[in-house]
Amino acid sequence: MTFTKLRPLPRLASQLSAIGRSFLQVHNDARSHIVRPDWHSVTDGKLNKGLSFTIEERQRLGVHGLWPCSYRDLEEQLNAVWVNFQARKGNISKFTYINSLSHRHQRLYYRFLRDYTEIVMPIIYTPTVGEIVASFGLHFKYPDGLYITIFDRGHIRDVLGNWKEKHVRAVCVTDGGRVLGLGDMGANGMGISIGKVALYTALAGVAPQQLLPVCLDVGTDNEELLADPLYVGARIKRVRGEEYEDFMQEFMEATVECFGGDTFIHHEDFATPNAIKFLEKYQYSFCCFNDDVQGTGATGLAGMLNVERVTKRKLEDMIFLFVGAGSAALGIANMLLTALQGRGLSLEAAASKIFLFDQNGLVTCGSEKIEEQAKTFAKPMDPIKDLVAAVEQLKPAILLGATGVGGLFTEQVLRSLAKHQERPAVFALSNPTNKTECTAEQAYTFTEGRVLYCSGSPFPPVVFNGKRFTPAQANNCLVFPGIALGAICARARFLPDDIYAEVAATLAKSTSEEQLAAGSLYPAIRDAHNLALDVGVAVAKYLFENGLSNIYPVPKDVCAFIQKTQYRLEYQSALPPTWPYPDFPACRGKDCKAKNIL
């Protein structure tokens, strides 16, 4: 027999199954003993270090040659990202570049967000995120979260089980019912959930694999979206009533069934009635948090505590006028109400200090269609339809806007406010920038530089009469990453209202006297990652001290305990660790024969 007839082995091998080819490669390769990881895994965004892989790592991992031979450390890579970022024209282009980096090079992405927080925040969060949400179908590329539709009823647990990560500790969920100042954005609201969890990692150090953005797609009443060929959501009218509430109940139960009873569930951008209804329903049976109500409430109260520091007037001696009666305004109003009661005022006395002004005018006992949550603040007085007239009559120390109506605080409103207060305070909290009630420049100009101003979106410094003012940003990113960090690390059972007073106090104390002197009521956004740790420690301590944690034993050093859990933004070796072992002598001589023990 000759073997020459069997020589067309390559053709045969090409026809074998993938398993057969693998078998031939393993058993005919002289280097088959070398563990060669799949290069797709090594270059996965979660593991990729790019040019920061050392030559040894590249060679031992079998990826040598996939990058140029040069080496860049993390600082050099950050500089390269910064140069690329600066080269992009316009916020949308910058967002697209940063978003792409998050999928290619995850750790570098989060490090860039942390080190350049003040510059990048307006790109990945407000105000640019509003533009992204408005045209989300145009920007959608990656499955960065889970879309659970009303048609998944009865199978939500199955959908959650499809998520790639199985050790989720926090879920950020929206139904897109009221996104920023944009209104009903349906499934486009996913952009907000994705942006929120990115800040969990960048600012608070929560590991990205522990986070899950979710959009509950129950339709939309936004006719423009329904007619948009690029809309990615269900093209149905928004589902409401019992069917919607049962759907939400199934989601909450499925989440804790899938990920654990102490999973942190962050509700985001639900319409005001639903936001408050779900908070009241779930706050003490789930580890549930509503950023629009509680996060905004804690942030707003912190700013008011700093108004107290600057003016030397006690909050209980002030009058507050809230323009807007949505979840943000009501969240702050209720947080303030609780704080005033904590200072000895009765419920009635505390409520008498707080006035609400909605689209129908001042909320009074005779107002029509008063939301249940606003009735506490309804006043037994004649109606006032005009905002200027309300300011003239009430003479508020603090004027707060959360309306989504740009330019609502006119020159006349601001001049009237300043006429009655030596240091009036203006909180223009609506997002994005074009929806804010007044700009920083308008506020300083029309109050002759005496205003204590803060806004929801960032504004540049203002120079008035030769003095430079730095307007603060009353941004929830100063609190919600830390709240999540503390709740996750302490494995909270639930989060009571009192915990947000601790958060507000922590945020207020973090504002330095120098910042207050420059007109800033809040710390700079660039310090948000340090503040997140402070807030996280305050939250965790409260949970430990009040028996609301599932961690036993209680750690002695809460700060150190939390820091050990945080996601590292520095590179680590891609190779498994090795350590020395002694050389064992070989067994020699006649006594080394194995004994037969059978």
Binding residue positions for (S)-malate: 178, 431, 475
Total residues found in the chain within this entry? 598
Answer yes or no: are the C-beta atoms of 49 and 58 closer than 8 Å: no
Known catalytic residue: 125?
yes
Q: Which candidate in 110, 125, 500, 522 is catalytic?
A: 125
Answer yes or no: are the C-beta atoms of 293 and 279 closer than 8 Å: yes
Residues 6+ apart with CB under 8 A from 186: 176, 217, 219, 220, 222, 225, 231, 233, 234, 238
Q: From CA 212, how far away is CA 132, in angstroms rounded?
A: 19
Q: From CA 302, how far away is CA 310, in angstroms rounded?
A: 13
Structure tokens at 414: 């601001």
Known catalytic residue: 196?
yes
Q: From CA 185, how far away is CA 183, in angstroms rounded?
A: 6
Bond prior to 127 in cis (omega within 30° of 0): yes
Pairing type for strands 467-469 and 462-464 reads: antiparallel
The three-state secondary structure class of 283 is coil
* Residue 320: its H or E element: strand 320-323
Beta bridge partners of 354: 320
Encode 525-556: b = buried (16+ Cβ within 10 Å), e = exposed: bebbbebbbbbbbbbbbbbbeeebbeeeeebe
Q: From CA 279, how far away is CA 283, in angstroms rounded?
A: 5
Structure tokens at 284: 């003490």
Answer yes or no: are the C-beta atoms of 169 and 259 closer than 8 Å: yes
In the block, residue with structure tokens 């420690």: 537
Answer yes or no: are the C-beta atoms of 482 and 533 closer than 8 Å: yes
Answer yes or no: are the C-beta atoms of 173 and 265 closer than 8 Å: yes
Beta bridge partners of 288: 265
Q: From CA 108, how far away is CA 53, in angstroms rounded?
A: 13
Q: Provide the H-helix boundaries in 347-456.
A: 347-351, 387-394, 411-420, 440-446
Nearest to 271 by CA among 200, 325, 211: 325
Answer yes or no: are the C-beta atoms of 248 and 152 closer than 8 Å: no
What one-letter code names the amino acid at 462? V
Pairing type for strands 354-358 and 361-362 reads: antiparallel
Nearest to 179 by CA among 159, 198, 194: 194
Q: Which candidate in 94, 196, 353, 379 is catalytic?
A: 196
Structure tokens at 150: 């009303």
Per the annotation, where are the binding residues? Answer: 178, 268-269, 292, 431, 475
Q: Which residues participate in catalysis according to the annotation?
A: 125, 196
